[in-house]
Amino acid sequence: MSSEQAAEYKRHAAELAAEMVEDGMVVGLGTGSTAAFAVAALGRRYREGLRFVGVPTSLATEHQARELGIPLSGFGEHERVDLTIDGADEVQRGTLNLIKGLGGALLREKIVASASDRLVIVADESKLVDGLGEHSLLPVEVTPFGWEATARRLAEVGAHVSPRRSRAGDLFISDGGNLILDCHFEGIDDPAATEQAIGSIVGVVESGLFIGMASEAVIAGPTGVARLHVAAQ
């Protein structure tokens, strides 16, 4: 599909998800191109009279929400988030397990998702995969100190590791002040085991594997918009 078609599908999915927000909710605001469509739709709904507060998952989303007049909050004021709307780099059919974080905000995204009663993922159908790692690299956020040693440990668990860099060629710095190592795996057959192996490495802050966190995915494509749920075991 063309980039214009993909953007239109993302917008359709995001606008449907934005309709799930109800008066009085605490809403997690995701990061990335698809989530930005959802934030824009929520900005319109707020101007039309819907009242909610947003918890942004990145500085970029925080800036967008403020520009739209969406009131923002954090975990000092709210213990839980009612609903988070976010994008994903890959969505596994059946399980709705995810790879997220190519936008560089995976730590904050995961903190908000883990505190959410519902995590709704919005994406175009190109993000649907049978197995994680089919198309996407797996971002892993690591501490700057000793990142080379952390990269070697990641290689020991099967990853081909590349440090992410900015457009200027410098090491990419996340909103949390950490680095991101983009990891290629030859397929992730057991996402939970892979997440555990990565998380056990000293120096790893968080990985972009979101296992068992999504409650629903809104996927748009040429035939329309579909709402997917975790398949019964």
**Could you say which architecture CATH assigns to the domain 138-203?**
2-Layer Sandwich (3.30)
> In whole angstroms, what is the distance from residue 54 CA to residue 66 CA?
10
Helix (H, G, I), strand (E, B) or coil at 55: strand
What pLDDT shows up at residue 233? 58
Find how far residue 142's CA is from the centre of its chain. Answer: 17
Find how far residue 203's CA is from the centre of its chain. Answer: 21
CB 217 within 8 A of CB 123: yes
| pLDDT < 50 regions, the chain | none
Was domain 3-129+211-221 assigned CATH 3.90.1150.10? no
What pLDDT shows up at residue 2? 76
Catalytic residue annotation:
109
Residues 50, 40, 57, 161, Cα dihedral to 10°: 150
> In whole angstroms, what is the distance from residue 185 CA to residue 138 CA?
8
Q: Given this chain, do its domains 3-129+211-221 and 138-203 carry the same CATH topology?
A: no
φ and ψ at residue 34, rounded to 5 degrees: -75, -45
Domain ranges (residues) in the chain: 3-129+211-221, 138-203
φ and ψ at residue 27, rounded to 5 degrees: -120, 125
